[in-house]
Amino acid sequence: MYSPTGALEEGAAERRFHSLVVNYQINGFGKMAVVQKSDGVLIGYCGIEACEIDGCKQLELGFRLGTEYRGQGYATEAAKELLETNTLVNVIAFTEPSNKQSIKVLLKLGFQKTGNSSFEGMPVVLFGRGM
């Protein structure tokens, strides 16, 4: 599943979207759309947002792509560009232990495994970069 909440109902998705917009307006960073250059199709999102894990507020890199777009380098390309153009240094990431594709992306981006935890009831592997 790779998501603690699964697919969102329409109202919840709308609230989440608005919270992302407000977060971006306040902080100057956030989760952003990933659009396929060739045809302008929205294929997912990638970005950095504040989260709390293990009682600590952190800046977290997150990405999610439609299943048909995974494994094609889109997440790596989007996250690499985001990390290179952003001045944020200490960024974490996490994913479910079974999400081998996301782990591979994070390692390519220079993240290192720092431990295990849980996020919203979901077991996760923690990664750090620049720490």
- C-alpha to C-alpha distances, 9 to 14, 15, 23, 88, nearest whole angstrom: 9, 10, 21, 32
For 41, the domain range is 10-129
Q: Divide the 131 residues of the chain into consecutive groups of 10 and give the mean pLDDT of each group.
A: 58 79 84 92 91 92 91 94 80 94 95 94 90 58
Q: Is residue 4 part of a domain?
A: no
Q: Is residue 85 part of a domain?
A: yes
Q: Is residue 2 part of a domain?
A: no
Number of domains into which the chain is organized: 1
Q: Is residue 99 part of a domain?
A: yes
Q: Is residue 3 part of a domain?
A: no
Sign of CA dihedral 63, 65, 67, 72: negative
Under 8 Å between Cβ of 65 and 79:
no
Q: In the beta sheet, which residues pair with residue 131? A: none
Predicted pLDDT of residue 3: 54
Predicted pLDDT of residue 1: 39
Predicted pLDDT of residue 90: 85
CATH code of the domain covering residue 49? 3.40.630.30
Predicted pLDDT of residue 20: 80
Of 72, 56, 58, 66, nearest to 105 (Cα)? 72
Q: Is residue 80 part of a domain?
A: yes
Predicted pLDDT of residue 131: 58
Q: In the beta sheet, which residues pair with residue 123? A: 118
Predicted pLDDT of residue 16: 75
Predicted pLDDT of residue 11: 79
Q: Is residue 81 part of a domain?
A: yes
Under 8 Å between Cβ of 30 and 48:
yes
Q: Is residue 1 part of a domain?
A: no
Predicted pLDDT of residue 29: 83
